[in-house]
Amino acid sequence: MDDGFDPQLGGSPIARLVDAFHRLPGIGPKSAQRLAYYILRAPEQEARDLAEALIEVKQSVVLCSRCQNVTDRDPCRVCADTSRDRTVICVVEEPLDVVAIDRTGGFRGLYHVLHGVISPSDGVGPEDLKINELLARIRDFDQDVAEVIVATNPNLEGEATSMYLARLLRPLGLKVTRLARGLPAGADLEYADDVTLGRAMEFRQEA
């Protein structure tokens, strides 16, 4: 099968760069080659800027000790923002979901990032997610929380994770809601348009 790589490159630096790009999600072999040759033709400073940005993000970005979102400060800007509604926490799968929801401007509460969903077929169980951190957070940091919005993706794994969280959180006396069905089944939050996502947040339902 043609993987898009030039055998003449062998183990050259260009081949290594093509391979590095190809490992990124959503980057096929042809796209990896185009990116590699773009870097090759670009001014040296542009390549250095890219390399330095990659190193800096790995060295300086951490997980917020409260919400588990990626951040360059702890607590993150959202958790440290005293104007946010601290009675509501929106639980999402990935950091990009925080960006998508906050962009709508319709939610001013706090967030919690699970970093995945329960997926037995992939070997991912509740213990692999940031669920214990959520429970500890409600006990220790955000004791005024009255509602948890479970904003996992509307697919099989997202629904299973939502039901699992609801079983854990309801006995704590918390209201547990789910995003309204304005989101199409099987879609990812990060690809939803702002209007659809905003309406789903506004008309959320009991989980």
Q: Tokens standing for 46?
A: 């542009």
Write out the E strands in 33-171: 62-63, 70-71, 88-92, 110-113, 147-150
Backbone CA torsion sign across 86, 90, 92, 96: negative
* CB-based contact 86:109 (threshold 8 Å): yes
73-130, pLDDT tens digit by residue? 999 999 999 999 999 999 999 999 999 999 999 999 999 999 999 999 999 999 999 9
Candidates 192, 184, 168, 9; CA nearest to 104 is 192
Candidates 121, 108, 113, 55; CA nearest to 82 is 108
pLDDT the model gives residue 204: 77
- pTM confidence score: 0.75
- Domains of the chain, by residue range, sit at 7-60, 75-206
What are phi and psi for residue 195, nearest 5 degrees? Answer: -65, -50
Side chain identity at residue 82, one-letter code = T
Residue that has been written with the tokens 């969903």 in this structure: 117
For residue 101, count other CB atoms closer than 10 A to its CB: 26
What does pLDDT average to over the chain? 90
Lowest model confidence (mean pLDDT) among 8-12, 49-53, 121-125, 151-155: 8-12
Residue 17 has pLDDT above 50, yes or no: yes
| 119 three-state secondary structure | strand
- Name the CATH superfamily housing domain 7-60: RecR Domain 1 (1.10.8.420)
Among 3.40.1360.10, 1.20.200.10, 3.40.710.10, 3.30.70.20, name the CATH number for the domain at 75-206.
3.40.1360.10
Whole-angstrom Cα distance, residue 181 to residue 157? 16
For residue 33, count other CB atoms closer than 10 A to its CB: 20
pLDDT the model gives residue 2: 46
Across 5-16, average pLDDT? 70
Whole-angstrom Cα distance, residue 23 to residue 38? 17
29 confidence band (pLDDT: 50, 70, 90): very high
Write out the E strands in the chain: 62-63, 70-71, 88-92, 110-113, 147-150, 175-178, 205-206
Q: Tokens standing for 157?
A: 């794994």
